[in-house]
């Protein structure tokens, strides 16, 4: 049985699963689908064309499905799609997609946490098991892959890509693509090594982590251009998911990947 507070505003055509809780002064629009066991807490807003999975929680002040902040938007029907077990904290905002992008949908994967005051712009894609810390803002058509973590106050340029298992330090400005498995920070944004702690927590073996580090040593420290570094990695390392993920990401980067540290900066971190 659903628990809908009498002071909530829920359109009669909205589709609510079993065991959904809607708090006082929450607003749910007509073309909304919310999965079983989800909670829409007081003063949260879910506008039209939002599909939310099971066991999600939307905290007070969050706004999901508002029209995109994009002058190319012409009132077309576009969407927000949210997976299961997603937590959306206070005053976070997730905007719908646009037809101009060719996507028309903004996606949030399952088991992802959006902390307070985060902003996910039109046509962004945030993967599974991601964390966007408070005050992160990702501009239109940014792609954040599975298990990525963006530190507080991080801002991304539109069309940026952040690879799986990457971690971006707080307060960073992402204007280049962030490859998978790495740490990066500083201003301008700079490669700072492998996300060793995160990879260990997720079950990567010492050999896998060592191979990832060796591949990035070739990309960043062997004095090669990116194309030659990728060719050396492809010929010098056996096929693996990690090798293929790195090569695919780096070769398909249109904005270019973040730069390596200077020798002096590398020494400071070590």
Confirm whether 36 is a catalytic residue.
Answer: no
CA dihedral 11, 12, 15, 21 (to 10 degrees): 70
Helices 241-252 and 226-236: angle between axes, nearest 10 degrees? 160
Helices 226-236 and 206-221: angle between axes, nearest 10 degrees? 150
Q: Are 183 and 198 in contact (CB under 8 A)?
A: no
How many degrees, rounded to 5, is the angle at CA 192 between CA 174 and CA 215?
A: 105
Q: Which candidate in 97, 109, 140, 185 is catalytic?
A: 140
> Distance between CA 48 and CA 245 in Å, rounded?
36
* Preceding omega of 188 cis (within 30 degrees of 0): yes
Q: Which candidate in 65, 122, 151, 169 is catalytic?
A: 122
Confirm whether 165 is a catalytic residue.
Answer: no
How many degrees, rounded to 5, is the angle at CA 151 between CA 149 and CA 156?
A: 85
> Distance between CA 17 and CA 54 in Å, rounded?
8
Confirm whether 43 is a catalytic residue.
Answer: no
> Distance between CA 165 and CA 251 in Å, rounded?
18
> Distance between CA 151 and CA 123 in Å, rounded?
21
> Distance between CA 82 and CA 104 in Å, rounded?
14
Please enumerate in sequence order all residues whose Cβ is within 8 A of that of 223, keeping only pairs 6 or more positions apart, or say none.
none
18 to each of 2, 35, 72, 103, 223, how far by Cα in Å?
6, 7, 38, 30, 58
Q: Which candidate in 29, 70, 84, 123 is catalytic?
A: 123
State the catalytic residues. 122-123, 140
């Amino acid at each position: 049985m659903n628990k809908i507070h009498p002071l909530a505003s829920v359109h009669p055509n909205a589709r609510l699963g079993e065991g959904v809780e809607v708090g006082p002064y929450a607003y749910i629009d007509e073309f909304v689908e919310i999965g079983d066991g989800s909670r829409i807490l007081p003063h949260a807003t879910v506008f039209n064309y939002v599909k939310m999975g099971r066991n999600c929680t939307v905290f007070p002040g969050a706004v999901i499905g508002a029209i995109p902040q994009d002058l190319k938007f012409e009132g077309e029907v576009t969407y927000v799609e949210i997976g299961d077990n997603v937590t959306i904290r206070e005053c976070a905002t997730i905007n719908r997609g646009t037809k101009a992008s060719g996507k028309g949908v903004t996606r949030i994967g399952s088991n992802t946490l959006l902390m307070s005051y985060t902003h996910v712009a039109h046509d962004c894609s945030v993967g599974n098991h991601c964390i966007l810390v408070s005050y992160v803002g990702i501009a239109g058509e940014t792609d954040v892959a599975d298990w990525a973590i963006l530190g507080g106050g991080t801002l991304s340029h539109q069309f940026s890509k952040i690879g799986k298992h990457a971690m971006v330090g707080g307060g960073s400005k992402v204007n280049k693509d962030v490859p998978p498995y790495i740490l990066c920070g500083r201003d301008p944004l700079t490669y700072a090594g492998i996300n060793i702690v995160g990879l260990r927590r997720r079950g990567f073996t010492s050999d896998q982590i060592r191979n990832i580090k060796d591949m990035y040593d070739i990309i960043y420290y062997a004095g090669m251009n990116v194309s030659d570094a990728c060719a050396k990695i492809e010929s010098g390392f056996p096929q693996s998911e990690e090798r293929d993920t790195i090569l695919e990401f780096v070769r398909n980067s249109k904005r270019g990947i973040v730069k390596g540290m200077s020798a002096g900066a590398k020494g400071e971190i070590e």
